[in-house]
């Protein structure tokens, strides 16, 4: 039997969310999956059902705090919640991103995370604890991009830095309530999101491999997992550089283009 029989994942229609759903899909599992694209979400659900899982879907926008709280409170007891939904875009170089895009990235990646995690904490805090003292686990998908402020990706870096810092700082208080919080900081994962990147992506990893790393870290009770480790170390070192030097080293970098749909 899977260690996480009752799971809720936002952004479950593609990328890391889909890979996690497939990794957790067994006849013993009940998966609650949300996403904004009904077609892609149903495709993921069908793939998980083919593996024997009971799958319930909800077409939701994580920015809608009321709808998110109502959904999470309605699904019943949960062993694992993954706050995965996010969006990504850049300035296409050393430019200022469009104001609407900046606000959309912060609203989805930060507010959307809180709209998932805060109701999940409330639900899990009311659940009985297991023999290990744990009532539930929550994984928050941050990024190695949150460990260093890279020009051209300001909003995304800022959002992921906030997500990681909040999760790590909140983890001790959550643990006192029997809830394990894990900040997940992956590097480049082969998904539709990274397909738009216009620069080399060292350490590019398949989503199914990333899912295995994430689930091992969550099961082990890690407060933060950053991978590949060498890329996380490089980001930490780069963050120690004077801002002008970091900007000079990244000058001319062709980053991800703006997204006019945000």
- The residue assigned the tokens 């029989």 is 5
Which secondary-structure segment (H or E) carries 181?
strand 179-186
DSSP-derived 3-state class of residue 40: helix
Alpha carbons 58 and 174: distance in angstroms, whole number: 27
Outline where the chain has alpha helix (H): 15-24, 38-49, 65-74, 99-106, 112-125, 154-176, 207-219, 229-239, 243-249
Selected catalytic residue, list 4, 71, 156, 227:
156
Question: Is 80 within 8 Å of 138 (Cβ atoms)?
Answer: yes
Q: Which phi and psi angles does 229 have, rounded to 5°?
A: -60, -40
Alpha carbons 71 and 190: distance in angstroms, whole number: 29
Token couple for 132: 């290990």
Active-site annotation holds for 156: yes
For residue 59, list its beta bridge partners: 35
The catalytic site residues sit at 156
């Amino acid at each position: 039997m899977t260690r996480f029989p009752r799971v809720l994942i936002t952004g479950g229609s593609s990328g890391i969310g889909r890979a996690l759903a497939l990794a957790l899909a067994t006849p013993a599992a009940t998966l609650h999956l949300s996403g904004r694209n009904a077609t892609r979400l149903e495709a993921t659900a069908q793939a998980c059902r083919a593996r024997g899982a009971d799958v319930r879907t909800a077409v939701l926008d994580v920015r809608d705090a009321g709808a998110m709280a109502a959904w999470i409170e309605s699904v019943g007891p949960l062993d694992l919640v993954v706050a995965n939904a996010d969006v990504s875009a850049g300035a296409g170089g050393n430019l200022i991103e469009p104001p609407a895009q900046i606000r959309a990235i912060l609203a989805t990646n930060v507010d959307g995370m809180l709209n998932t995690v805060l109701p999940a904490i409330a639900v899990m805090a009311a659940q009985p604890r297991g023999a290990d003292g744990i009532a539930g686990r929550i994984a928050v998908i941050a990024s190695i991009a949150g460990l260093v402020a890279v020009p051209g990706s300001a909003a995304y870096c800022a959002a992921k830095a906030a997500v990681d810092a909040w999760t790590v700082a909140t983890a001790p208080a959550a643990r006192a309530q029997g809830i394990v919080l894990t900040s997940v900081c992956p590097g480049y994962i082969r998904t539709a999101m990274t397909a738009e990147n216009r620069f080399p992506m060292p350490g590019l990893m398949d989503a199914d491999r990333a899912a295995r790393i994430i689930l091992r870290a969550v099961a082990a009770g890690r407060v933060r997992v950053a991978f590949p480790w060498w890329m996380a170390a490089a980001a930490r070192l780069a963050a120690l550089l004077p801002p002008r030097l970091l900007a000079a080293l990244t000058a001319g970098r062709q980053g991800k283009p703006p997204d006019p749909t945000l």
